[in-house]
Amino acid sequence: MEIGIIYGLVFIIGTLFGSFFTLAVYRIPEGLDILHEHSFCPNCGGKLKARDLIPVLSYIVLGGKCRYCGKKIRIRYLILEILSGIVFLLFFLSLKFDFTYITKYQVINFIFFILYFAGLFIIAGIDKERKTIQKEVLVYEMIVSILFMVYVCISRAKVIYTYIIYLAFFAIVLLIDILIIRKNLKSNYTMSMIELALCMIAFSGTERFYYSVAFCFIYIALERIILMIKDKEKRKSIINTGKIELPMGYYLIISNIFLNILCNFLLN
Ligand SMILES: [Zn+2]
């Protein structure tokens, strides 16, 4: 019974995060404030009330429409909130906490992973919508990853030199990236992907990272096949142009989150 309440809470927190993610995905690329400014309807600009901000429920109460102008709210937001709740719950379950004995280490680890996933969700969302890896969010993710590495280094202090090599590599990548940005005045997608990969290695280790890459390609291939079967027009365009721009960051992130949860379930 009590455990059920904990699971329910984790799911609700997940949907709250999900509602924040959708807001961040919409606002960050536009350069809008994500923390202080009131939420508003993108169609009429009407300010949302506190009760309109409750994930899932407010969508159902309002019938999926804006309170002021009646414009339909994309169902994608509802789906994303629920998905975020499910991912949070699955991740929590995958850690198989023993509630009679929770260590400080487990709690800190859990918080680090939530911060890590939060950044991933936002990067994935922006990449899917705009096919760019948002630098600000990536910088946040890199800071979280480096802090996590330092924390692991201090708390376990086993083989420090691997962490030092990792951090040195990270520093070199960042330096090259800064030089590229200074030359072209804009960030490079490939460079951002390498930085994203380094963040993933920090959190999930090299082995799970390789699996994520493998899974990512299987995922893309399957999606292409389904798309080509479902949509004849698309099939023609894929075959004719032979070139498709894919939000690689998005695919890799979905794969990494999925694999982290799956490996936790199987191994812990
Ligand atoms: Zn409106």
Q: 6 is in which domain, residue-wise?
A: 1-94
How many angstroms separate the alpha carbon of residue 63 from the centre of ligand 1?
13
Average of per-residue pLDDT across 21-39: 83
Indicate the pLDDT class of residue 188, thresholds 50, 70 and 90.
confident
How many angstroms separate the alpha carbon of residue 131 from the centre of ligand 1?
27
pLDDT tens-digit profile of 142-180? 999 999 988 888 887 666 777 788 888 888 988 988 888
Instruction: Return the percentage of the chain with pLDDT > 70, whole number.
Output: 94
In a domain, 131, yes or no: no
Question: How far is it, in rounded angstroms, from Cα 223 to Cα 226?
Answer: 5
Report if pTM > 0.95.
Answer: no
In a domain, 166, yes or no: no
In a domain, 119, yes or no: no
Instruction: Return the percentage of the chain with pLDDT > 90, whole number.
Output: 38
Is pLDDT of 238 > 70? Answer: no
Output the pLDDT for position 256: 95
How many angstroms separate the alpha carbon of residue 111 from the centre of ligand 1?
36
Joined together, the tokens standing for residue 245 give 């721009």
In a domain, 59, yes or no: yes
Is pLDDT of 241 > 80? Answer: no
Number of domains in the chain: 1
Indicate the pLDDT class of residue 239, thresholds 50, 70 and 90.
low
Question: How far is it, in rounded angstroms, from Cα 51 to Cα 42?
Answer: 18
DSSP string, 94-153: HTT--TT---HHHHHHHHHHHHHHHHHHHHHHHHHHHS---HHHHHHHHHHHHHHHHHHH
pLDDT tens-digit profile of 97-144? 877 788 888 889 889 999 999 999 999 999 998 889 998 899 999 999
In a domain, 222, yes or no: no
How many angstroms separate the alpha carbon of residue 65 from the centre of ligand 1?
8
Closest to 113 in 3D by CA, of 161, 73, 151: 151
How many angstroms separate the alpha carbon of residue 66 from the centre of ligand 1?
5
In a domain, 262, yes or no: no
In a domain, 204, yes or no: no
Is pLDDT of 235 > 70? Answer: no
How many angstroms separate the alpha carbon of residue 115 from the centre of ligand 1?
31
In a domain, 163, yes or no: no
